[in-house]
Structure 1
């Protein structure tokens, strides 16, 4: 039920019966669970390491370097770091100008500000000219509790319609570290969703290697196919473990590149008879990975039972992330309940 102004704010709710009441600090907490292995600031450290041998790499921030982990790059290479202030339009135009001069700019801000505030500047100055600008943005989807002003629940939908724009949604710290050199080598603009701070690491258990434009089957299963990206791949793997108790064999296909989409792998796996296809994404159900997959299936005559686990088409509440993830159906527990109801 949608909260009205007379109800308790979500950040005062208790997501687990019997647990301690959450505080406002949970609005900006890491998505890592209490027992998960993490790596601190994988994007910032990966960029510093890569820049040692790539003098053309520069970093730009819209007064948010600390909150996009670019402050690590700024400390290592102060002469290659540019603080543009609270002006995302200027940030993108400056990055475009640097790219024209042969640099590889990494422009960082929050996903809401890049997708909503600077869209036309990115489209006309960067994408239309196919410039080599890497736009790396924190707080994608529902990864902050600070309400609609900071929750970029529609960022993929916005950028999917932009010609020349490559879109990457990494799962964990391992993938972020691998994606940084890969998107640097790609010629053209890239939008990458960023998990920042203490980022969980899970893909190292699967001998994973990121390839731009490629999906990867992390675990096979005969009963259900979950296609996921970003942090939802972590949740899908947890879901697969939980569903073993109910004797449900869940396959997880990780799709880190939303555009261009690896349709060949998706079609191959979705065509296996008897398995419903569920797309899990940290994004509104409108215009994201789910609709991209559905379109690919329909265009190619593949018709499995199809469902989405996604955020609703509405402005979301403010509150503690664990509470919000339960409320909007993207926590592991909520996903398990939804899957059981469908099966």
Structure 2
């Protein structure tokens, strides 16, 4: 897909914030000394009086965001996923989640595609952490268009929202007239009768590539983009699983507690189905070029294709 337009969703986040701020003066953006990396600098340049750099103190940043929300402002608090979800978990849980405050968290640099920054910064656990907070909405957009739509949807939603963005430029796959973003609703990108693949984030594009390869082998895969992991589109999950009888989940996140676990929770209760989870297998990442890491950890289209083919054939 080298000829396809590619944009990092963190860039989309920064631009969407600036656009939102132009029409909504109550929007305030906070960052933890990472405005350049999280792209909140775009908002800072346009509205310096509404941007607050809280320094390398993510827990405090979440407390400031909670206070702003309590006064009627619309704070977007941003940092790397490892620090937003990991370091500030207690403040998010108790100061934002518990009182159901209207704070939006923009977590960038998620997953192993952070690349050379290595294991300490490659957060593969953030979705699992945020899923445990009651009432927290979790959005993991697949491309530029979806990331920008996610920011708007987060603004319109009353309550806390966690948005996950990436550092790596990814293909724009949703640029079509029929595209519609709706919180809690998955999107069927490809029909198929043999196996259903639920994918999220940058893995959606890789999964579409895998589905094309499967088709050449006579395996018709139904591909579903799950941009909202919580609340999950349970109706679509059950219907698709019932239709194909086999399910695969694909995510740039630990196979523990992420999309795969969310899907399995639903199917175990409502439609027991054979499931294979593709993700980071209970291990830390490592330093290296993002594209090479995605291949090494089996999250590229070719690897996904091979795993699903074996799964489908019962090997």
Shift of 1:206: 7.1
In 2, the alpha carbon distance for the partners of 1:197 and 1:276 equals 31
More divergent stretch after superposition (77-86 vs 203-212): 203-212
- 1:50 is aligned, of 16, 20, 24, to 20
Paired position in structure 1 for 2:82: 112
Paired position in structure 2 for 1:284: 254
Q: What pairs with 1:148-163 in structure 2 (closer than 5 Å)? A: 148-163=119-134
More divergent stretch after superposition (167-176 vs 217-226): 217-226
More divergent stretch after superposition (143-152 vs 181-190): 143-152
String of CA shifts for 1:258-285, please: whole Å, max 9, x gaps. 111110111111111x541101111111
Residue 194 of structure 2 is aligned to residue 223 of structure 1: yes
Shift of 1:39: 4.1
Paired position in structure 2 for 1:26: none
**What CA RMSD, in Å, does the superposition of the two structures yield over aligned residues?**
1.5
Residue 212 of structure 2 is aligned to residue 241 of structure 1: yes
Moved over 3 A (4+): 196-199
Residue 168 of structure 2 is aligned to residue 184 of structure 1: no
Answer yes or no: is the 8 Å Cα contact 2:114–2:168 preserved in 1: no
Give the structure-1-normalised TM-score: 0.87
Task: State the SS of the aligned residue for 1:240.
Answer: helix
Paired position in structure 1 for 2:307: 338
Residue 267 of structure 2 is aligned to residue 267 of structure 1: no
Task: State the SS of the aligned residue for 1:52.
Answer: helix
Answer yes or no: is the 8 Å Cα contact 1:284–1:313 preserved in 2: yes
Question: Which structure is larger by alpha-carbon Rg, 1 or 2?
Answer: 1
More divergent stretch after superposition (202-211 vs 223-232): 202-211
In 1, the alpha carbon distance for the partners of 2:79 and 2:94 equals 19
Q: 1:197 to 1:153 in 2, by over 3 A?
A: closer
In 1, the alpha carbon distance for the partners of 2:121 and 2:178 equals 34
Unaligned runs of 5+ in 2: none
In 1, the alpha carbon distance for the partners of 2:114 and 2:69 equals 31
Answer yes or no: is the 8 Å Cα contact 2:113–2:168 preserved in 1: no
Paired position in structure 1 for 2:97: 127
Paired position in structure 2 for 1:29: none
Residue 11 of structure 2 is aligned to residue 36 of structure 1: no
Paired position in structure 1 for 2:39: 69
In 2, the alpha carbon distance for the partners of 1:254 and 1:130 equals 28
Paired position in structure 1 for 2:290: 321
Shift of 1:338: 1.1
